């Protein structure tokens, strides 16, 4: 079982969106059994799922399970999932991190093997994120010294052609965190996400998002294959 955390220091960089984009795609087009734990105080995914139930109807069968939990409850849920072999991947939408996390948050982070860090390319964001990414790099080193493989990558979100783009690779390189080659552009298809629609169901979504998903599977060494829809 893999535990993947979307985490950032800055609000609004795309943590919740990343969790939903990936959960929707993997749950629909791969064999992976997926749970999402909404451990963020904002409860965005929980609210989205409630909206989805209203829009699509109570009868809708969702492709992935959702549990809303505080960090302590999240730890218990993960332990239970290990015992019962119910899931292949657990995504956690983490509270945003300041570097001064409480024990429950640190303990939850320590249960994760993978981190995915969306970064908005603006100078201030790159600076703030740089500090956080240094913490991530430390975490990776501690885990790997214990013999536990750890995957940490950052990616450009809201990508468009602006001067600030150059800051991110510099910071990432400086602290030893690798960036995705694929970028997620600033686009409508990414803005209007929910908890059940796969981005790969439209031709535009496939053009934009498929390279990112392939890179995600390869970088995080997930043992799965996608069955890509071809319609629309």
State how far the alpha carbon of 161 is from the alpha carbons of 67, 151, 224, 227, in Å.
Answer: 38, 28, 33, 32
User: Out of 1, 43, 44, 179, which residue is the one contacting Mg ion (CB under 5 A)?
Assistant: 44
The nearest distance, CB 211 to Mg ion, in angstroms, is: 24
Question: Binding to ligand ADP (CB under 6 A): which residues in 2-61?
Answer: 8, 11-17, 44
Contact residues for 194 (Cβ-Cβ < 8 A; gap 6+): 20, 24, 48, 51, 52
User: Out of 7, 8, 16, 19, which residue is the one contacting Mg ion (CB under 5 A)?
Assistant: 16
Q: Which one of ligand ADP, Mg ion, none interacts with residue 136, CB within 5 to 8 A by kind?
A: none
Residue 44 or 202 with smaller CB distance to Mg ion: 44
Phi, psi of 72 (to 5 degrees): -65, -45
For the four alpha carbons of 186, 189, 193 and 197, in that order, the dihedral sign comes to negative
Question: Binding to ligand ADP (CB under 6 A): which residues in 141-200?
Answer: 157-158, 184, 186-187, 190-191
The nearest distance, CB 21 to ligand ADP, in angstroms, is: 9
User: For the chain, first and last CA: distance in Å?
Assistant: 33
Residue 44 or 165 with smaller CB distance to Mg ion: 44
Contact 122, 171 (CB under 8 A): no
- What residues line the site for ligand ADP (CB under 6 A)? 8, 11-17, 44, 157-158, 184, 186-187, 190-191
């Amino acid at each position: 079982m893999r535990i993947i955390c979307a985490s950032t220091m800055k609000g609004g960089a795309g943590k919740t969106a990343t969790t939903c984009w990936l959960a929707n795609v993997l749950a629909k087009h791969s064999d992976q059994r997926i749970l999402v734990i909404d451990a963020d105080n904002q409860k965005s995914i929980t609210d989205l799922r409630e909206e989805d139930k209203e829009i699509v109807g109570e009868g809708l069968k969702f492709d992935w399970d959702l549990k809303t939990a505080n960090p302590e409850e999240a730890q218990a849920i993960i332990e239970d999932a290990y015992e019962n072999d119910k899931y292949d991947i657990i995504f956690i939408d983490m509270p945003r991190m300041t570097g001064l996390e409480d024990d429950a948050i640190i303990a939850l982070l320590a249960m994760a093997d993978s981190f995915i860090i969306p970064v908005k390319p603006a100078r201030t964001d790159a600076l703030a994120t740089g500090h956080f990414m240094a913490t991530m790099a430390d975490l990776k080193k501690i885990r790997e010294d214990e013999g536990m493989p750890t995957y940490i990558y950052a990616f450009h979100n809201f990508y468009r052609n602006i001067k600030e783009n150059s800051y991110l690779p510099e910071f990432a390189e400086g602290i030893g965190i690798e960036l995705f080659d694929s970028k997620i552009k600033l686009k409508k298809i990414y803005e209007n996400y929910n908890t059940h629609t796969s981005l790969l169901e439209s031709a535009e979504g496939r053009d934009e998002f498929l390279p990112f998903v392939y890179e995600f599977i390869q970088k995080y060494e997930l043992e799965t294959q996608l069955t890509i829809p071809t319609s629309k």
